[in-house]
Amino acid sequence: MLLEIKNLHVKYGNVEALHGVNIQVDEGEIVTILGANGAGKSTTLLAISGLVSVTSGQILFRGDALHRMSADKIVRAGITQSPEGRRVFSTLTVRENLNLGAFTANDPGRVRKTLGWIYELFPRLEERREQLAGTLSGGEQQMLAMGRALMANPKILLLDEPSLGLAPILVRTIFDTVREINRSGVTVILVEQNARVALKLAHRGYVMEVGNIVLADSADALLSDADVQNAYLGGKK
Ligand X SMILES: Nc1ncnc2c1ncn2[C@@H]1O[C@H](COP(=O)(O)OP(=O)(O)OP(=O)(O)O)[C@@H](O)[C@H]1O
- Number of residues near ligand X (by CB under 6 A): 20
Site residues (CB under 6 A) for ligand X, limited to 113-172: 131, 135-140, 165
Confirm or reject binding of residue 69 to another protein (CB under 8 A): no
Q: Which candidate, 38, 44, 41, places its Cα nearest to that of 79?
A: 44
**Among another protein, Mg ion, ligand X, none, what binds residue 70 when CB lies within 5 to 8 Å by partner kind?**
another protein
- The 188-227 contact track toward ligand X, x by CB under 6 A, reads ----------------------------------------
Torsion sign across C-alpha atoms 227, 229, 233, 237: negative
The three-state secondary structure class of 181 is helix
Rounded Cα distance, 197 and 194, in Å: 6
Rounded to the nearest whole angstrom, what is the least distance from the CB of residue 191 to Mg ion in the complex? 6
Confirm or reject binding of residue 199 to another protein (CB under 8 A): no
DSSP lists the bridge partners of residue 15 as 12
Q: Which CB sits closer to ligand X, 32 or 42?
A: 42
Rounded to the nearest whole angstrom, what is the least distance from the CB of residue 37 to Mg ion in the complex? 8
Residue 201: is it exposed, middle or buried by C-beta count within 10 angstroms (0-12/13-18/19+)? Answer: buried
Identify the residue among 17, 23, 133, 191 touching another protein (CB under 8 A): 133
Site residues (CB under 6 A) for ligand X, limited to 36-55: 37-43
Q: Which candidate, 31, 33, 27, places its Cα nearest to that of 202?
A: 31
Contact 143, 151 (CB under 8 A): no
**Near another protein by CB under 8 A, which window of 58-66, 113-121, 189-197, 212-220?**
189-197
Contact 43, 17 (CB under 8 A): yes
- Region label for 101, one of left (φ > 0), alpha (ψ between -120 and 50) or beta (otherwise): alpha
Query: How does strand 204-209 pair with strand 212-218?
Result: antiparallel
Confirm or reject binding of residue 31 to ligand X (CB under 6 A): no
* Residues near ligand X, by CB under 6 A: 12, 15, 17, 35, 37-43, 84, 131, 135-140, 165
* Residues near another protein, by CB under 8 A: 36-38, 49-51, 70-72, 75-76, 80-81, 83, 85, 87-92, 96, 99-101, 103-104, 124, 128, 132-140, 142-143, 148-149, 152, 161, 164-172, 193, 195-196, 200, 231-234
